[in-house]
Structure 1
Amino acid sequence: MNRVLLVLALTIVSLPARAEGLEATLSDWGTVGLLQTPTARGMPDGTVTAGLTALGGLHRHLFAGAHLLPSLDIALRNSTYPSWHGLSEPGVDAKLRLLREGPWWPALAVGGRDVTGTGLDLPGKGRFAGEYLVASRRWWDVDLSLGIGWGGLGDYGHVRNPLRALGGRFKRDRDPANASSRGPEAWFTGERAALFSGVEWHTPLEGLSVKLEYSADSFRAQQQDDPDFRPGIPMNAGLAYRPWRWLEVGAGVEQGSRAMLRLAARFDPREDTDTPPRAPPPMVGARPAAPEAALPATDIAALARLHRLPARAARIDKHNATLWLDPAGGGTAPLAREVGRAARLLADGAPPEVEWLTVATGSAGLDGTALTLSRRAVEQAAAKRGSPEEIWRTARVERSAAPPPDWPARLALTIIPTVEASLFEQSAPLVQRTYGDSVLTMEPLRGLVLSGGLRINVSHNLHLLDTNALPAAEPVRSDLPLYADRGAAVERLYAAWLAVPSERWGTRLSLGHFEEMFGGVGGEALYRPLTARWALGLDLNRVWKRPPDDALRLAPESGRNTGHASFYWEAPGAATTGVLRLGRYLGGDWGGTLELMRAFDGGVRLSAQVTWTEGPEGAQSRYGGRLEQGIALTVPFSPGGSWPPAGRLATAVRTLGRDAGQQLRQPLPLYDASVSAGYGRLTGSWPRLMD
């Protein structure tokens, strides 16, 4: 077998390949791969998956995953298996692509299963933990993969661990009976490693592929549990089929005797989002012959609203016309396209002597950008005699325009159906909560936000949470089942004042019930230079627990302080933002949070976060460890017809009912309110200015 793998390795690296767009498929574990083994492939950027794999009477993998970046694949998983202690095993699997496939080299990726190593220290826990380095090479419809695995991916031990030369810790035995066999301290350790390989053939039948692999997993932990267990042969074969774009079905025979069945749903925000047909852009006619023929500012603002632009006010001066756009909830259209359409309306309706057009963007009273364009350049581009690039040469970008002449009040209703699930419980593979929020938001003055929300709880099985086993005397969120048992309750009821004290600073003061569990008073400041791709934030809050049996009361004895310093870093175009937060959490524990936020056309939002803290103070439950983690997806929808509310469908897989690492769910964070109207989003979508 080793000779076969050596020949395969030489083939992968020596022959030119034709790597053209064949769809990657899922493995049994929920990440892209063959059956039991991974490949170096990935799905389209932003794709979200969820499904279930059943392997004979041996394993059940319930998983949810996301391609958070073009090169990063994360899957949250809970696995059940025959075991004397009867508990399931949660895990986080990750894969990072190091190298894209080229004409003379393969794609290369590194990754691991159960990379965090959280959970109870019981015999056999960490049985799935393992790391790998894998290369994939494609010729037409055939994709070959070859890798080396450690831990559970390298049980057969074909070779000595090549990392032994780096130090003693890499030489120690990787015994799954010990807690040290999992987690970061165990990565790439073990006396020996093993090779695995496989091939996937994408057949002429659209959506169908055939898989064959050699796996290096000898199921060492299962053999320790049951001396009579026989793993079978290390060869697996199967099929993957996509009858529809959103569904993948897998089937196969593994270890020579065990049948496998896999069902998975897929969502690609770039393809699967139903966006309304794009209306044609406003026409730009000849300039009015006289000032009397031009439209007044109030009519231009009203006309912009008819064109479905979030226009709030307009003003016409001697040589300049200004229109303010203030999208509620961040907007769903590319910012530059909305700015371009607003500029067209100004160019078409302003008096003939106006030569400069300003479109000021912002959200909830915060200034985003004030873009001033040459009217002549806009007219030429609208007539197909110019381009966004030519308009940019004469454009001027500032933080804000002069104060608007008026600011009409706005009232908005948002419907948010939500499904939250936990795959991190030892006692149950899946814990879920389903509810719906109706949020009414009013802005009577610029910068003043009043909001109230009603939550309708539909269903839950939160009584299966691990934290119920050891109730806390002073819970942070481990008493979540008490809140979900209510049929309906006030989810939020607060007032916030947002202001811009200087060009680079934004501030917010909030008072009221911020979320279903906590209310109080809080403040936030955000330092954000206009053209910078970074920002600094600080939030401080004094909050009290809202008892589950009284929707509007605050428990006076439950006061606590919480707050964080945050650093934001944006990718070009500000569609991707990484966040590092350091501070004090609701349980009194100190720690940090890493968060990744993605924004796609149509208003789709994808995010992931992981929090590590020192653990909560005395009276809170330490059950479940010190990690708080999860991924979330939000998809806007429109009820349609004459029904006015906006809608967002929210779904998340996260730890539920934990006391460690809990942040206040502030409903109006400054960065979220400002990024959608900022310089990064404007320049990132600039080619769509005249769409």
Structure 2
Amino acid sequence: MHIRSASKIVALCLLMLPAHIAASDTLGGTHVSTFGTPGLIDMPSGFVLPDGAIHNTTALHDGTFRHTLTFQITPRLFGSFRYSIIDRLDGPNSTRYDRSFDLGYLLFKETRTRPAVQIGLRDFGGTGVYGSEYVAASKHFLSGRLTLTAGLGWGRLASHGGFKNPLSILSSGFDTRGEGPGSISEVGRLEVDQWFRGDAALFGGLSYQVTPNLHFNAEYSSDAYVQEGSHTGFERNTPFNFGLTYQAGSGTNLTAFLLHGTEVGIAANFATDPKRDRIPSGIEAAPPALLPGKTAEELGWGPQDIAASRSKLALLLEDQGLRLDALTLESNTAILRISNSRYAAEAQAIGRAARILANSLPKSIEEFHIDLAIHGMPVSRVILRRQDLEELEYDLDGAWKSFALARIVNATDMSGATSPDRYPQLSWSLTPYLEPELFDPDAPIRADLGLQFLASYEPAPGLVLSGSLRQSLLGNLHTSTRPSNSVLPHVRTDVTEYSKQSDVQIKHLTAEYFFRPGRNLYARLTTGYFETMYGGVSGELLWKPVHSSLALGAEVNYARQRAYDQLFGFRDYDIMTGHASAYYDFGGGYLGQLDIGRYLAGDWGATVSLDREFNNGFRVGAFFTLTDTPFSQFGEGSFDKGIRFSIPIDWLVGSPSKEAFATTIRPVLRDGGARLEMRNRLNDLIRGAHGNELEDRWGRFWR
């Protein structure tokens, strides 16, 4: 085995890192092929992965490196993104850096009498190196120790043992397979004239459990490795492949395999279950115990003690990571407005605030109205009764019962009762940062490492002045020498120039104002330096009732391109952009978004996004953008698309935090379909404090 550059090993290590940190022992049951999808060695199987599972698979054999990220989107549908490095595929001294997507759908689940049946597309919309389609069936025998698989393949999976396409009985159009992308500008399109067309071929194999942790795999492959045999010297002496897979525990599988009698390879698969926290019980301090209610006299209250009680409450809330914005006492009701800076689940903040109110206020206060505020803007109100808290604290079903008895309503303005000690508020931090850049054709991965200073100042409710300053310490982002060949305005393809001019960079410097212009309405005004490449003025309006699954928004921006040194200057390019947006919560954690409008290069179009968010805040999604920019002008990739992750810090470390590690993987970064990277867009900012999200995460109310 050999690999031409050390950067490939660096890429391997960095890409594998996120997957291994929280693997689940329950995820090793479905065997994953060297292509990172359910299968044997190279061939697919009829199975899919456990719902929600994320698999990172790395496979290596002579001259070929493949890393695949697979996500089980629904119980029946999975999707994969693959990055491959193939030596000598395009010539003696060449290296092909290839990106591809897969989809697989479970047609039938396995039963006592019927196999599992899966239909799939491999490498659709890419260069077509691995382009193929298949239908596969798999069945367990001998109490699950033996698994048999048989399938029918097209494209590359019909390059050995091919015969006339059986689908020809439906239409003669299935006899001829399209030629695929004719140039780099056509890569990324959906080549539907190839799908399930041309010759077909049979494949199959078996997997046998030798010991509880060791599996023997054998397959008859319909992949002749034609391109590799013609260009890389790959020798194929037999259609049979063999492998041994060791299940190391914690969702980790290691495989050694023999391809076609000549090539020895290794593969590693790491499985993650985003539904399960790494530390399920968490490591945060226990909440305050609910104490028996006391009278005003027992608490030492007098008629003028509201100021003293507010100060005491502020200290108790601060100890729980909550900030007292306002407090009003009305007859038998306490109205409290808080800002939550610690807990990813707003329900956990509400639960702790409610117990502090019950312990600190006279028992004549029978009802608690707790307003959740974000940047001083009231978002929602949760109404709880003291009696319900006392009865349900130790109830085995206390979580869902307390939610059923709670009332969630629209928050009202309480500006007149704002705590005098709440503003102004200053916060800052000094942290390391890592800024990666993936899939440069000249290097698989580049990155900078340095220090980042962040500061935020809130002089009044709704007004936030913030900025971040970076000092690069080491890295290679500045070493890219590939010029942009885009025929569109270079609104994104010159991004590497911003890492070359200065080691000290202002990443953002903005003034933001958040307010409620009307019932169910939220607004944001932002001015300053938004992001690495742009500054200007932005305004956003969002309509979202507290219990609605639908939200509608509009954003208008005047954007000007920043100088390459990322300090205070600007370049000549400026533009008006804007989008109308619709957001919909489909239930079950599935979130959809549609944005229609004008993009940074002046093109008009729409972006469609679909995300799956788990109850612990772990989020995986995908998006694509189509605009009036022709595919040929867009360049490689044909249109903008990608996948994105948001991994909560509390999921990683167990301690409470509202922060998350978020990243977007774009196979190709071009200028078409480019949008501003705007901080604090309203829907993501407020939805965690609304009815659907509160319900999903109410299990943390008593934590």
Q: Same fold (TM over 0.5)?
A: yes
1:578 aligns with 2:592: yes
Whole-Å Cα distance in 2 between the matches of residues 212 and 115 of structure 1? Answer: 26
Task: Answer whether contact 2:235 2:262 (CA < 8 A) is retained.
Answer: no
Whole-Å Cα distance in 2 between the matches of residues 432 and 132 of structure 1? Answer: 38
Matched ranges for 1:185-224 at <5 A: 185-206=192-213, 208-222=214-228
Whole-Å Cα distance in 1 between the matches of residues 343 and 110 of structure 2? Answer: 34
Moved more, 144-153 or 499-508: 144-153
Moved more, 471-480 or 679-688: 471-480
Moved more, 363-372 or 661-670: 363-372
Matched ranges for 1:453-468 at <5 A: 453-457=468-472, 458-461=474-477, 463=479, 468=483
User: Of 631, 653, 658, which residue of structure 1 is paired with 2:665?
Assistant: 653
**SS at 1:672's partner residue?**
helix
User: Of 288, 303, 312, which residue of structure 2 is paired with 1:299?
Assistant: 312
Tell me which residue corresponds to 1:60: 65
1:76 aligns with 2:88: no
Tell me which residue corresponds to 1:548: 564
User: Of 353, 369, 380, which residue of structure 2 is paired with 1:342?
Assistant: 353
What's the % identity of the aligned pairs?
26
**SS at 2:532's partner residue?**
coil
Task: Answer whether contact 1:301 1:311 (CA < 8 A) is retained.
Answer: yes
Post-superposition offset of 1:63: 3.5
User: Of 135, 158, 169, which residue of structure 2 is paired with 1:154?
Assistant: 158
1:428-477 C-alpha deviation (Å, 9 max, x unpaired): 44455556644322333222122101234442357558x62637684212
Tell me which residue corresponds to 1:358: 369
1:593 aligns with 2:604: no
411 and 617 in structure 1: CA distance in 2 versus 1, 3 angstrom threshold = farther
Whole-Å Cα distance in 2 between the matches of residues 614 and 91 of structure 1? Answer: 24
310 and 96 in structure 1: CA distance in 2 versus 1, 3 angstrom threshold = farther
Whole-Å Cα distance in 1 between the matches of residues 442 and 169 of structure 2? Answer: 41
Task: Answer whether contact 1:39 1:136 (CA < 8 A) is retained.
Answer: yes
Matched ranges for 1:282-681 at <5 A: 282-290=288-296, 293=299, 296-309=309-322, 311-328=324-341, 332-384=343-395, 387-403=398-414, 405-406=417-418, 408-409=422-423, 410-413=425-428, 415=431, 417-423=433-439, 425-432=440-447, 437-457=452-472, 458-461=474-477, 463=479, 468=483, 470=485, 474-485=489-500, 486-549=502-565, 551-555=567-571, 557-572=572-587, 575-600=589-614, 603-615=617-629, 622-636=635-649, 648-655=660-667, 657-681=669-693
Whole-Å Cα distance in 2 between the matches of residues 624 and 449 of structure 1? Answer: 39
Whole-Å Cα distance in 1 between the matches of residues 217 and 646 of structure 2? Answer: 31
Task: Answer whether contact 1:241 1:249 (CA < 8 A) is retained.
Answer: yes
Whole-Å Cα distance in 1 between the matches of residues 484 and 111 of structure 2? Answer: 53
Whole-Å Cα distance in 2 between the matches of residues 612 and 60 of structure 1? Answer: 31
Tell me which residue corresponds to 1:236: 241
**SS at 1:52's partner residue?**
strand
Tell me which residue corresponds to 2:137: 135
Task: Answer whether contact 1:40 1:145 (CA < 8 A) is retained.
Answer: yes
**SS at 2:192's partner residue?**
helix
1:90 aligns with 2:69: no
218 and 607 in structure 1: CA distance in 2 versus 1, 3 angstrom threshold = same
Whole-Å Cα distance in 2 between the matches of residues 337 and 388 of structure 1? Answer: 11
666 and 101 in structure 1: CA distance in 2 versus 1, 3 angstrom threshold = farther
Post-superposition offset of 1:96: 3.4
Post-superposition offset of 1:55: 2.2
**SS at 1:212's partner residue?**
strand
Whole-Å Cα distance in 1 between the matches of residues 138 and 324 of structure 2? Answer: 51
Return the letter of the residue paired with 2:537. V
Post-superposition offset of 1:520: 0.4
Task: Answer whether contact 2:206 2:219 (CA < 8 A) is retained.
Answer: yes
Tell me which residue corresponds to 2:29: 23
Post-superposition offset of 1:512: 0.6
Post-superposition offset of 1:323: 2.7
1:527-558 C-alpha deviation (Å, 9 max, x unpaired): 21221212122211110110113511122x21
Post-superposition offset of 1:248: 3.9
Whole-Å Cα distance in 1 between the matches of residues 627 and 448 of structure 2? Answer: 25
1:251 aligns with 2:241: no
Post-superposition offset of 1:38: 2.2
1:466-522 C-alpha deviation (Å, 9 max, x unpaired): x62637684212222221233220000001111122222211111010101100011
Return the letter of the residue paired with 1:673. L
Task: Answer whether contact 1:62 1:429 (CA < 8 A) is retained.
Answer: no
1:329-387 C-alpha deviation (Å, 9 max, x unpaired): xx644333332222222222222221211222232344432111222111111253973
- TM-score normalised over the length of structure 2: 0.83
- TM-score normalised over the length of structure 1: 0.84
Whole-Å Cα distance in 2 between the matches of residues 611 and 374 of structure 1? Answer: 48
**SS at 1:261's partner residue?**
strand
Task: Answer whether contact 1:591 1:611 (CA < 8 A) is retained.
Answer: yes
Matched ranges for 1:108-127 at <5 A: 108-117=117-126, 125-127=127-129
66 and 385 in structure 1: CA distance in 2 versus 1, 3 angstrom threshold = closer
**SS at 2:685's partner residue?**
helix
Cα RMSD over matched residues? 3.6
Post-superposition offset of 1:588: 1.6
**SS at 2:256's partner residue?**
strand
**SS at 1:217's partner residue?**
coil
Whole-Å Cα distance in 2 between the matches of residues 559 and 688 of structure 1? Answer: 46
**SS at 2:596's partner residue?**
strand
639 and 161 in structure 1: CA distance in 2 versus 1, 3 angstrom threshold = closer
569 and 138 in structure 1: CA distance in 2 versus 1, 3 angstrom threshold = farther
Whole-Å Cα distance in 2 between the matches of residues 435 and 116 of structure 1? Answer: 37
Moved more, 32-41 or 95-104: 95-104
Segments of 5+ residues of structure 2 without an aligned counterpart are 1-25, 302-307
Whole-Å Cα distance in 1 between the matches of residues 177 and 290 of structure 2? Answer: 74
164 and 345 in structure 1: CA distance in 2 versus 1, 3 angstrom threshold = farther
Tell me which residue corresponds to 1:7: none
Return the letter of the residue paired with 2:120. G
438 and 602 in structure 1: CA distance in 2 versus 1, 3 angstrom threshold = farther
507 and 162 in structure 1: CA distance in 2 versus 1, 3 angstrom threshold = farther
**SS at 2:351's partner residue?**
helix
**SS at 1:377's partner residue?**
helix
Task: Answer whether contact 1:64 1:75 (CA < 8 A) is retained.
Answer: yes
Whole-Å Cα distance in 2 between the matches of residues 324 and 444 of structure 1? Answer: 18
1:685 aligns with 2:692: no
Tell me which residue corresponds to 1:144: 148
Task: Answer whether contact 2:155 2:198 (CA < 8 A) is retained.
Answer: no
Aligned residues: 653
Whole-Å Cα distance in 2 between the matches of residues 433 and 511 of structure 1? Answer: 27
Whole-Å Cα distance in 1 between the matches of residues 268 and 631 of structure 2? Answer: 42
Return the letter of the residue paired with 2:295. A
Segments of 5+ residues of structure 1 without an aligned counterpart are 1-19, 118-124
**SS at 2:684's partner residue?**
helix
**SS at 1:326's partner residue?**
strand
Whole-Å Cα distance in 1 between the matches of residues 80 and 665 of structure 2? Answer: 12
Task: Answer whether contact 1:497 1:508 (CA < 8 A) is retained.
Answer: yes
Moved more, 293-302 or 256-265: 293-302
Post-superposition offset of 1:141: 3.4
Post-superposition offset of 1:421: 4.1
